[in-house]
Amino acid sequence: MRSILAAVVLSTLAGAAGAADEPRFTVLINGLFAPSSITSDSTRTFNAFAEEGSIEASYDAGGGPGFEAGIVWNFSKSLGVGVSGGVVSRDTDATYTAQVPHPLFLSRPRTAEGTLSSLDYQEQQAHLDLVYTGHSGSFDFSLFAGPSYFSVSSDLLGQPDYDQEYPFETITITNVPALSFDDTGFGFNAGAGVGYRFSRNFGVGVTGRFSRATIELVPEVGKDAVELDAGGFQIAGGLRIYF
């Protein structure tokens, strides 16, 4: 009986020692790419010739590169808490329709259309996740989900500049200024990852994440807000440090 109890105690101590020897923290340093585009619409109004004009625009922020870093603390064999943050930059194309009041006649606006490219869009994200982790040999697998915080800065089109000549039936758009606006909001994220350890403390990994938050950019007080769905799918990969 004593020998059996001794064997059980030794086995338990060995298991605890092995668990304690396992790295509890994982640092992630990733480059990332966001392939999905973000679309939005805006309507800006302005006064001209005692009437109200407008410029309606549709924006398409295409896929773009970014960077993220984070850390995961495994408080048990399979569960942990992860904190990460990153930034994504996108180039935005805009198509617009401007309606400018007539200087001589009421309710007879002149219309002009155009496109602009290379507008700026930047998205900063912070994620707090519950992480489930599994292991198979040198491979680590993870599933995660949790709340997210977003900070978005985006260019929106302002009041257009134009040329006109008598009898003022047409206008030529000479410039449409791009004005930067920003706002913040909360959302969620979820994803999965796989890592490969080539030593006890170092490895590489790939992560796929979907995140979403609704952001309202307000160009002017009392004017219609520009609503967009920030986030989308992102694929990331890079270095893993275990300790």
Reported as a single tens digit per residue, the pLDDT across 69-125 is 999 999 999 999 999 999 999 999 999 999 999 999 999 999 999 999 999 999 999
Please indicate, yes or no, if residue 238 is contained in any of the structural domains.
yes
CA 230 to chain centre: 6
Running DSSP on this structure, what letter comes out for residue 78?
S
Please indicate, yes or no, if residue 83 is contained in any of the structural domains.
yes
Say which residue, 188 or 5, is predicted with more confidence.
Answer: 188
pLDDT the model gives residue 218: 83
Task: Provide the terminal-to-terminal Cα distance of the chain, rounded to the nearest Å.
Answer: 40
Work out the mean pLDDT of the chain and round it to a whole number. 90
Quickly state the pLDDT bin for 219 (edges 50, 70, 90).
Answer: confident
Please indicate, yes or no, if residue 36 is contained in any of the structural domains.
yes
Q: Is the pLDDT of residue 202 over 50?
A: yes
Please indicate, yes or no, if residue 11 is contained in any of the structural domains.
no
Q: For the chain, how many structural domains are there in total? A: 1
pLDDT the model gives residue 5: 40
Please indicate, yes or no, if residue 10 is contained in any of the structural domains.
no
CA atoms of 83 and 213, how far apart (whole Å): 18
Residue 106 φ then ψ, to 5°: -80, 150
From residue 171, alpha-carbon distances to 116, 162, 181 in Å are 18, 6, 28
Please indicate, yes or no, if residue 118 is contained in any of the structural domains.
yes
Please indicate, yes or no, if residue 80 is contained in any of the structural domains.
yes
CA atoms of 131 and 193, how far apart (whole Å): 10
Q: Is the pLDDT of residue 127 over 70?
A: yes
CA atoms of 99 and 121, how far apart (whole Å): 26
From residue 107, alpha-carbon distances to 44, 103, 144 in Å are 18, 10, 56
Please write the tens of the pLDDT for every residue from 128-178.
999 999 999 999 999 999 999 999 999 999 999 999 999 999 999 999 999
CA 207 to chain centre: 15
- Domain extent for 95: 25-126+139-210+231-242
Quickly state the pLDDT bin for 221 (edges 50, 70, 90).
Answer: low
Please indicate, yes or no, if residue 76 is contained in any of the structural domains.
yes
